[in-house]
Chain A
Amino acid sequence: MALIQITEPGVAIDPHQRKRGAGVDLGTTHSLIAVVRGGSPVTLPDASDRHLLPSVVRYKREGITVGYAAVEAAREDPFNTIASAKRLLGRGLSDIADRKQLQNYQFTDESAGMVKLQTISGEISPVQVAAEILRVLVLRGEEAFAGRLDGIVITVPAYFDEAQRQATRDAAALADIPVLRLLNEPTAAAIAYGLESGEQGTIAIYDLGGGTFDISLLNLQKGVFEVLATAGDTSLGGDDFDESLAQMLLHKSGYEGELDAISRRTLLLEAKTIKEALSQCDRVDVELSLPAFSWSGVVSRSEFSQAIRPLIETSIKACRRVLRDADLTESDVKQIVLVGGATRVPLVRQLVEAFFKRQPLSHLDPDKVVALGAAIQADVLVGNKPGEEMLLLDVLPLSLGLETMGSLVEKVIPRNSPIPVSRAQEYTTSRDGQTAMLIHVLQGERELVADCRSLARFELRGIPPMVAGAAKIQVVFQVDADGLLFVTAKELETQVKASIEVKPTYGLDEAEITSMLRASVTYAEQDVQARMLAEASVDAQRQIDAVTVALDKDGDRLLDRKTIHHLRKLVEELAEAIDQQNINEIENVNKRLGQASENFAAMRMDASVKDALSGRHFETVVES
């Protein structure tokens, strides 16, 4: 079996063991996969040499089509052809109630939780749609490498909230693809540009894609990319330009009746074609022939510009906001990077340049730049660039908080805090003898619960009955490097371990993922067994390698001979269990080795953090 090799930070790996990492840009309108080849990132095309994969999935009675074939079907089979599913990821029906997208699909009637779409092959979650797109892309990657991928980096808009990030992770889990990291799209773009042209200082990334807009300020220096601030709009993009143009065409035609679904979709597709043509020419001759009406005439770039100007101005407002969040002015920005197909629209370039008073960078293909950056990051993360100094420090895009009395939100971790981060907050009971407490986790900047996004409700039970105000409930928020949140709560006074029930409002729970996995034909029962054994073996081998490297390096320095001997013996036992393919034994010994080496690992980590600052020259000298 293929074993995963372990690399210590800064330790060289065997060049023959090059790992297979890939970057995936999971976009609203299209998606891409890129890998690093011969030191440079390249996007991978399909058999017809097309690099972009339209993010469109068609569900049929038998089977599924993804990409161009699905786009073609959009006209005649609108309800079963799901486009722009990214806009629905981690969203509830009420989030999109005012959006035009509602007219395009049949949503199942569910008041709570993530939306589901009614299709000919049953109820489909946007997570499943994303998983199908990931599968197709990963297959491309596997063909290119002639082997299974060790992991992928998936990009998400910097503004994506917790539920949307979780849904993206869930999609990868559903497609059975290991995720190295979720990476903010603008950061990925900066990586693509930063490494190729060596830019330093503050950089603004203006990313106007099909369905999302992001503006991010990054501080690039000393091999570290720091996200200073991000702002944006998860519901603004090139799709909205199409929509504006479609409305304009409708107005010009004089048609006033209701549009049927097929006419609507066709009109939108026509609008998209006209928009693209207007990036090159000043005027376009249009001939529309829809089931609902026909029209022919001319559309000029200036009238199109007039129609979309308010949309672009919304994005410029966000630019102003992000500068102020970072305490900077337009003149502090050294470079502007354009990302996303919609930045090809001349008026976008014009208004961005006017705002920053500087010509934006656009020499990389704005459609590909995010995937290219993700591929570079994936290559670093899988360990192909030992000694690589590049490190990404991210911030929390939106504040996290808890509901308190009076439907108010108390912020626990403010936005733009560097992540990973952990913060504890104490609460108490409000009634005598209260034994349970509902903890409502929210995300957003506003003060009222109703204006923030509900992420989860936790019920803490088993609080021993006390007088009001006597119990001390500690709620701990932990956000990992991907921006994913874990919340735990416990009662401190009595140290009674109280139970917690997690109900993700918009995510999929484990059971749902498992049942979706089961439902997918790819996994027969024996496949599941084989997969579990493979996963356990990989985990165990990882542990073996980690402990062995650690012992070789620091064993003599930090441990006594008895402990070293004990650890070596467990390593041997575990290797034997892997050889025998005995899953129970592997898990058992692996657990024991983990426990036995816990102290050692902690000691090594302490030492390395301490060493990080010694031997370096700093301005301040510590007197000891």
Chain B
Amino acid sequence: MNFGQNYFELFQLPVTFSIDLEDLENRYFELHKTSHPDRYVGASDQEKRLAVQWTMQINEAYQNLRDPLARAIYLLKQSGVELTENPQMGATFLVQQIELREKIDSIETHSDGPEQVEALIRSISEQTIELQQQFIIAYEAGNMREAREGVYQMQFMVKLQQSARQMEEKILGY
């Protein structure tokens, strides 16, 4: 198996951030139809093993391409850009993050908590999409420093969104 093949090649897609998710899903299904272990129930152990390995590779590729943040990170890695675990973020961005966090934490005691948290989740989603747009521009222009900065910011937003959703669960008593 050609493990060196990148995820885009596997799906026979151009290497770019903008992906049509429905098209990606169609390709994913088509690939599975030939590779899935269920297609090899009566086959030799060797073929079964290969089928499992391919399917794992296809699933891994799909997971990385489907999720915008994972896709952005993967694109950077393919361009040889390394990410650090604890990036230094700009002061303005950090202050904004702290404010958003405080807002999430304070929502619990509010009487209109469910509406507020829902509005916040929507707002975070919108900001994330905006960051994605900025990433595309920087990445396409070959401005990798800015693209990487964008990925770090997206990572913060994803974590923030998780906290907001946890709060929503708490308020709604799931």
Contacts and interface: CB of A to CB of B under 8 A. Distances in A.
Interface of A: 4-7, 9, 151, 180-181, 222, 224, 317, 320-321, 324, 380-383, 389, 391-393, 417-423, 478, 480-481, 539, 542-543, 545-547, 594, 597-598, 601-602, 605-606, 608-609, 611-614, 616, 618-620, 622-623
B38 A391 contact: yes
What's the dominant secondary structure at chain A's contact region? mixed
Interface stretch (B48-56, B96-104, B127-135, B144-152): B48-56
Nearest to A547: B44
B74 interface: no
Interface string B42-63: 1111110011101110111011
B20 A620 contact: yes
B1 A602 contact: yes
Contacts of B153: none
Nearest to B59: A418
B50 A605 contact: yes
Query: What 6 pairs across the A-B complex have the smallest Cβ distances?
Result: A546-B44, A612-B34, A422-B56, A9-B39, A418-B59, A605-B50
B158 to A, nearest CB: 13
Contacts of A381: 38, 41
A601 B34 contact: no
Contact of B46 (A151, A418, A594): A594
B27 A618 contact: yes
Nearest to B58: A609
A545 B45 CA distance: 12
A612 B33 contact: yes
Interface string B5-25: 000001111100000100100
B170 to A, nearest CB: 13
Contact of B30 (A539, A546, A606, A612): A612
Nearest to A389: B33
B46 A420 contact: no
Contacts of B41: 151, 180-181, 381-383
Contacts of B93: none
B86 interface: no
B14 A5 contact: no
Query: Considering residues B10, B20, B33, which has the most beta carbons from chain A within 10 angstroms of its beta carbon?
Result: B33
Contacts of B2: 606
A151 B11 CA distance: 34
Interface of B: 1-2, 10-14, 20, 23, 26-27, 29-47, 50-52, 54-56, 58-60, 62-63, 165, 169, 172-174
A23 to B, nearest CB: 14
B13 A606 contact: no
What's the dominant secondary structure at chain B's contact region? helix
B31 A7 contact: no
A9 B174 contact: no
Contacts of A420: 37, 52, 55-56, 59
A44 B81 CA distance: 61
A317 B174 contact: yes
Contact of B23 (A7, A392, A422, A619): A619
A391 B31 contact: no
Nearest to B33: A391
13 contacts: A4-B42, A6-B44, A180-B41, A224-B29, A224-B32, A317-B173, A389-B33, A547-B44, A605-B47, A609-B31, A611-B34, A622-B13, A622-B14
A612 B31 contact: yes
A381 B173 CA distance: 42
A597 B39 CA distance: 20
Contact of B54 (A9, A481, A594, A609): A609
A421 B23 contact: no
Contacts of B58: 609
Given A481-B36, A605-B35, A608-B34, A542 B42 contact: yes
Contacts of B14: 620, 622-623
A421 B56 contact: yes
A618 B34 contact: no
A228 to B, nearest CB: 12
Contact of B1 (A383, A391, A605, A614): A605
Contacts of A618: 23, 26-27
A598 B11 CA distance: 25
B26 A605 contact: no
A594 B20 contact: no
A6 B43 contact: yes
A476 to B, nearest CB: 11
Given A222-B26, A391-B32, A602-B1, A480 B42 contact: no
